[in-house]
Structure 1
Amino acid sequence: MIDFVIYSVTVIAIWSVLALSLNLQFGMTGLVNFGQILPFAIGSYAAGIAASFGYPWWIGVIGGLLFAPLLSLAVILPAQRLSQDYWALITLGAAEIFRLTMLNTPSLAGGADGLNVPRFGSPVLALCIALALLVVSFFFAERVSRSPFGRMLRVIREDEVLASTLGRNPIRYQASVSVAAWMMAAAAGITYGHFSGYVAPTSFTVTETFIIWTAVIVGGPGRNIGVVIGAAVIQLLGVSSRFVAQWVDLPSDLIANLRLAAFGLILVLMFIYRPQGLIAEKREAHNVDRD
């Protein structure tokens, strides 16, 4: 039982960091990112590739934390004059391109077989690192949210034209928050790689992005504590479905499909009855300070 609790809390902490990273982009800034699994995958593969070539673990950490923000700029800057619909498609396409590249480069990333990653020394150590990452990410997100920078992000979310009339460059703010969010997701991916001990293309599909979005929508876009609660709810549902598979005589793939159907149903019900999420964002009038 203790092992299950440690495992569950570790998974919740890692996915909470992912949810916080998406909340910085969507909840605060209005960026519809359908490829947030991409920086997560970059971090995981950085850890795996570094290990496969015999480099120490910190090489993978540095590689993931550097490559993810650089790629975020490579994605957002060419799309700066496009609408949010195109931004969503570009991020989705970028995530799929990376996944398929890893799938078709066995010499670098192991192909469909994936890569082995050195595990943490113990489950308790993995739990402590995941929780420490979550605490740092949460307080960073809260700091951003309460700062003049965060208030301007909300202005950009509501009306980019208004932000421009105030002398702000929306693209600069969006690029800055994307770099920070992708670094957070990459750190979560590095932690996940060393926690699971294995990375493969099947771990970074569109389904995982859908799960991140579900956590943010359920918890409450724009509220950091809300998305952490949303991630906890979604991950607990996912982990508990393994017990259901043991109680009923159904194939594991059917259980997985039913789990996704349950997530979809939760999303629909939230959109209908609680669109603001479990913990709604506080709508307050603020003076936009110059930073």
Structure 2
Amino acid sequence: MKEFLTKLLDGASEKEVASADKEILRNLLNLNAVSRHKDRYYLNNGFVCGKLDISANGTGFLAPYDKRFKQDIIIENKNLNASHYGDIVLAKLLPLKKKRQSAKVVMTLKLANETSVIYTKQIGSVILGVNVKTGLSSALKASQKSLKMLPPGTLLKISNINNEIVEVIGNINDPLSDEKISLAVFNKNDEFNEECEAQALAWGDEVDAAMYPQRIDLRKLPFCTIDPVDAKDFDDAIYFDEKKREIYVAIADVSEYVTPYSPIDAEAKTRGFSVYFPHKAVPMLPRNLSENICSLKPSVARLAFCFKITLDEEDEVVK
């Protein structure tokens, strides 16, 4: 997105607009922030795009993509237009009254996060939500009567799109809420949807070697997994043949079970990685894969991607 918004400064042709940016272009045209001239699109004067930072006192600072601005642009709290820290926004420049340029947010082009985690706090006579990540307070889309029925410090997950309460997480004074806060702040989900679970369960619990005649069978070699004994999943294993000076380095072959554009593939791309707590893991893949058929458990057949490396007497790689 940054590349597209930067191109608008010098003009972006129709061919240069990626499919993912076409909706943004339509919105910018509707707001009269972009004009078309000789088959190229230009950001109109008076508008600027960039990434938003918000200080502890609620003042916004826009880091513009337009390099002609030598400083961040100030956006007063009243002009943030419900945008959040880290959002990519379109802003309209305000008349220059001081040495520092100021602006107001017209539209959020890309949310940094779909949700935020806040805790309730009474400030004066009203209950506000305090963002656990930024410390900024804001009004919530709920009646004061209902908010005052909640215990002080109630943790809520709210939508950054409409400020509505999505989920009650716990209480900020409860140490057991830390895990839920961590997952909610980064919008990580412990559960998988039905499509992912069904696809993962369809592979069963065992690997039938007869189904893979093209693979090399290394089950006679005494591989050793390198994860600790209390690990949820065993990804990697090694074996060293001391006489032949051959080391085998294996990793569970997830690619056999996760096909491109499948529900699991889409979910894995969204998650990006597994999250590990001292007592549990929130996996990138459904547990029937990550903790079962893709886990190199002792004495059971598993598919692996393996390197065989031959070393010389000085432990240098020969092949």
TM-score above 0.5, yes or no: no
Relative to the length of structure 2, the TM-score reads 0.18
More helix by share: 1
User: Relative contact order, CA 8 A, sep 6+: which one is greater?
Assistant: 1
Q: Give the TM-score normalised by the residue count of structure 1.
A: 0.20
Tell me which protein shows more strand as a share of its residues: 2
